[in-house]
Amino acid sequence: MSVKPRLRILLGADIAIGPGKADLLEAIRRTGSISAAAREIDMSYRRAWMLVDTMNRSFRAPLVEAVKGGAGGGGARVTDLGLDVLARYREMELKAAASVSSEMREFTRLLAKRTD
């Protein structure tokens, strides 16, 4: 059983970035496409587009931008700001998990065992 804390950065009521959005950014970086990234992480295109829209509105500049089509079609790319935000978020996740590791060990003992 894997137990870990999850970090979310809120901007008002919106989640500017969290685990799912970070995973989506990584998938867009790998695939060059929002739709391919959504398929890769088993998410609907509509949901992925909504998450990208929230991220783009939450930061001073877009984290993901459209790439004009050509012979190979269009796509999307993670901007330099998006790569910076992703790297900082992943570092914050590591630091947060490390800072509460002893509490998490104790907390884990209180959780019910899951069979799924």
The enclosing domain of 76 has a CATH number of 1.10.10.10
In the predicted structure, residue 70 carries a pLDDT above the cut 90: no
Per-residue pLDDT, 97: 92
The helix (run of H) or strand (run of E) holding residue 15 is: strand 14-17
What average pLDDT does the segment 15-33 reach?
A: 97
What average pLDDT does the segment 10-19 reach?
A: 96
Q: Is 59 exposed, middle or buried (0-12, 13-18, 19+ CB in 10 A)?
A: middle
In a domain, 116, yes or no: no
In the predicted structure, residue 85 carries a pLDDT above the cut 70: yes
Per-residue pLDDT, 105: 87
- Sign for the CA dihedral angle at 102, 103, 108, 110 comes to positive
Answer with the residue of higher pLDDT: 70 or 112: 112
In a domain, 50, yes or no: yes
What does the mean pLDDT of the chain come to? Answer: 92
Q: Which domain holds residue 86?
A: 9-110
Span of 1-5, 55-59, 85-89, 96-100 with lowest mean pLDDT: 1-5
In a domain, 115, yes or no: no
Residue/partner pairs of 30-36 with CB below 8 Å, 24 or more apart: 32/67, 32/75, 32/76, 32/77, 33/75, 33/76, 34/64, 34/76
What CA–CA distances, in Å, run from 80 to 38, 56, 65? Answer: 21, 13, 10
- Tally of structural domains, the chain: 1
Per-residue pLDDT, 16: 97
Q: Using alpha carbons only, give the angle 21, 96, 91 rounded to the nearest 5 degrees.
A: 60
Per-residue pLDDT, 53: 97
Per-residue pLDDT, 95: 95
In a domain, 4, yes or no: no
